[in-house]
Amino acid sequence: MAAIAATAPASTDKVDWRLAAPLGLVYLAFFAAPFAILLGVSFYADPEQTRLGFESWTKFYSDAFYLKVIFDTLKLGVFAVIATTLLAYPLALVFRAASARAQRVLIFIILMPLLTSVVIRTFAWIVILAREGVINQTLIGLGITATPLNLLQTELGLVIALTQIEMPLMLLPLLTIMNQMDQNLIDASRALGASKWRTFFRVTLPLTLPGWIAGATLVFASATTAFISQSVIGGARLVYLPALIYQQVTVVYNWPFAAVASLTLLFTVLAGIMALSWLGRFARTS
Amino acid sequence: MTQMNRRDLLAGAGALGLAAALPGYARAAGSLTAAIYPGTWEEAYRGVVAPILKKNFGVDVAFDALFAVDQVAKVRAARGVPPFDCFVLDPGPAAAAMQAGLFEPIDIKKLSNAAKVPKGLITSHAVTCNAQVVGIAYNPKKFPNPPKTWADLFKSPYVERLGLTGFQTTFGTVSLIEMAKAFGGSEADMEPIFKALKEAVPKVAAISTPAALPGLFQQGQVDIMYGNTNTVAILKGRGVDIAYIAPESGSITFQTTLHIVKGAENVDAAYKYIDTAISPEVQTALQNAPYNMVPINTETVLAPTLDIKSLDELSKMVTHDWTKINPQRAAWIERFNKEITK
């Protein structure tokens, strides 16, 4: 206690790492140690875990089906990021221009999905997307289509649902950075003769990129690992890494193989996040 | 503000301490933790079994809602420190758990109701608590002429409204085996069903996880599926247009069994719990709406709402040998993943 009191006010630029120790220890015990065990299990060659070997790894990475599962999982994350971006940017611009009162209403609307459980939101999407659901009934009622469209159990349906479910994660960082942006810069751009689009692409977009990167990271990580939404809306027709891991652990009891799939999911998500943060560094230096 | 936080912290720490102390306290009073399937089973066992157990033996039961496969995975992961005292399992996971040595042996002398259960339903490590009957479920409004055989499911107009589910569940696995037989295959030769599935995939209404299938039926996404009478009766009870039909080759039946987990802390309480579950009182209550479970106690007078008229019918239904199925199941699941999905 005395030591902390003595060193804490010493300088403002020096960090006292001891403050991070509690969290560090928690991570060590509940993340690093299980991770090490997971890594160890992945090097068993058989489901009974009696023999060491690389068989689980080679089986996973030499099979085109499992490579496609990795690719599809990544693709789902990218699609979710694109869809949330396309909807979030216009809304963020509206939010910036709105009065304080309107902003409060908007924030409530934006946060509302976060206040409901993912399970409930996912099942609500079944009601909306089903053959006799809201969308199909509306389309048939308007005479746009005669037979109901297949929306459930398609990648499109899943991306639509994930876009709504993950939207707050994209919007919150974007709104924060959008509100900090200096209006003078936009006014200056317009005064110097740039069009609205040019101003958006040359001023607004680069300035808000860090917020977008934070949002995109959250959406990407969340969409690629959204087990409930993937299995309920995607169904068994679409196989993604989280469902594959669940199946291998609970039905097939092949834990080494599940460990390989888990590590793959972990590194896939990390690779996506690293690509985004690299983009962030690139954006700041250019 | 600081004071508030400190008070919150104290309250939180107190609650944690209390929570940590509670199980110890409850154990002393005579209690157990039992795994139970989520959904109807959980409702039934909470609503019927727990109060009768408390009344007759003064034993409290806490339930851990888990599917059969999750129970086995959890006990395996716990490595000798089981998170609950009693399993409820279908034959597939039960055979796997038996092989992994996860059961305590059953001492039949400790079950006062054992004599009222037909021979063979209590074995060295398992006590049957209910039977399940599996066949075809369909929407009678959409299909006044329902499919009659397992093979019919793959013909027009049925196939376009069919909801498929794979080998993850017991009912899914046994139904697919019977479909394989309908196309000339067998437990040892599943090629015919994989061929039929592959041709059907572009046409079917949905390929779903088993848990989502009843919801899809309710939403009209599918109008035909395979499943147990229990699920059909529940959906019917909720006003869904659904009916059960036994295929011409006969309904499939399998038993749901209770087991004491190896290394369980509360073995005596577990016996009392199992004894209560197979008692005439509980078995009679569980066969009525909304639970609709097929009883196994010979003293139970069958309710008219059940899809069987006597327990003898069960012995004429199709059954499967899970010691033969389990070794092949991982390969079937992988095959289903690779060929049927996408």
Q: Are A53 and A42 in contact (CB under 8 A)?
A: no
Model pLDDT for residues B69-104, shown as the tens digit of each residue: 889 989 988 888 899 999 999 998 999 899 889 999
Model pLDDT for residues B281-313, shown as the tens digit of each residue: 999 999 988 888 999 998 888 888 777 788 888
Confidence bin at A11 (pLDDT 50/70/90)? low
Burial annotation B117-143 (CB, 10 A radius, 16+ → b, else e): beeebbeebbbbbbbbbbbbbbbeeeb
Residue B40: per-residue pLDDT: 79
Cα distances from A52 to residues A38, A153, A249, A259, in angstroms, run 14, 39, 19, 14
- The DSSP string of B196-254 is HHHHHTTT-SEE--GGGHHHHHHTTS-SEEEEEHHHHHHHHHTT---EEE--TT--EEE
DSSP letter (8 states) at residue B153 = G
Instruction: List beta partners, residue A44.
Output: A52
Residue B168: per-residue pLDDT: 84
From A96's Cα to the closest Cα of chain B, the distance in A is 33
Task: Indicate if the pLDDT at residue A211 is higher than 60.
Answer: yes
Residue A218: per-residue pLDDT: 94
Q: Which residue of A has its CA nearest to B69?
A: A250
Widest pairwise Cα distance in chain A: 77
- The DSSP string of A26-50 is HHIIIIIHHHHHHHHHTTBSSTT--
Two structure tokens written together for B118: 């037909």
Distance CA A65, CA A178 (A): 42
Residue A84: per-residue pLDDT: 96
Lowest pLDDT segment from A100-109, B58-67, B150-159, B201-210: B201-210
Q: Are B87 and B261 in contact (CB under 8 A)?
A: yes
Task: Indicate if the pLDDT at residue A131 is higher than 90.
Answer: no
Two structure tokens written together for A217: 């990271």
Q: Which residues contact A133 (CB under 8 A, 6 or more apart)?
A: A126, A127, A151, A152, B219
Phi, psi of B257 (to 5 degrees): -120, 150
Chain B residues with beta carbon closer than 8 angstroms to that of A235 = 206-209, 212
Two structure tokens written together for A210: 């860090």
Vertex A223, ends A79 and A34: CA angle to 5°? 140
- The DSSP string of A85-127 is HHHHHHHHHHHHHS-HHHHHHHHHHHHGGGGS-HHHHHHHHHH
Rg of chain B (C-alpha set)? 22
pTM here? Answer: 0.77
**Where do we find the tokens 């409060």?**
A104
Q: Euclidean distance between the first and final Cα of chain A, in Å? A: 46
Q: Which residues contact A127 (CB under 8 A, 6 or more apart)?
A: A133, A134, B219
Chain B residues with beta carbon closer than 8 angstroms to that of A253 = 72-73, 76, 96, 330
Distance CA A154, CA B221 (A): 13
At B304, which helix (H) or strand (E)?
none
Confidence bin at B109 (pLDDT 50/70/90)? very high
What percent of chain A is modeled with pLDDT above 70?
94
Comparison of pLDDT for A219 and B212, the residue scoring more: A219
Q: Euclidean distance between the first and final Cα of chain B, in Å? A: 56
Q: Are A164 and A121 in contact (CB under 8 A)?
A: yes
Chain A residues with beta carbon closer than 8 angstroms to that of B209 = 231-232, 235-236
Of A65, A237, A244, the CB nearest to B207: A237
ipTM for the whole complex: 0.70
Comparison of pLDDT for B178 and A114, the residue scoring more: B178
Burial annotation B260-295 (CB, 10 A radius, 16+ → b, else e): bbbebbbbebbbbbbbbbbbebbbbbbbeeebbbbb
Please give the average per-residue pLDDT across B23-50, as a whole number: 79
Task: Indicate if the pLDDT at residue B320 is higher than 70.
Answer: yes
Contact A132 B220 (CB under 8 A): yes
DSSP letter (8 states) at residue A201 = I
Residue A2: per-residue pLDDT: 43
Two structure tokens written together for B77: 């992961």
Q: A140: how many CB neighbours lie within 10 A of its CB? A: 15
Two structure tokens written together for A23: 């969290």
Burial of B219: CB neighbours in 10 Å, binned 0-12, 13-18, 19+: buried
Residue B26: per-residue pLDDT: 42
From B209's Cα to the closest Cα of chain A, the distance in A is 5
Q: How many residues does chain B have?
A: 342
Phi, psi of A12 (to 5 degrees): -95, -20
Choose from B98, B209, B225, B333 for mutation: most chain A CBs within 10 A: B209
Q: B259: how many CB neighbours lie within 10 A of its CB? A: 27
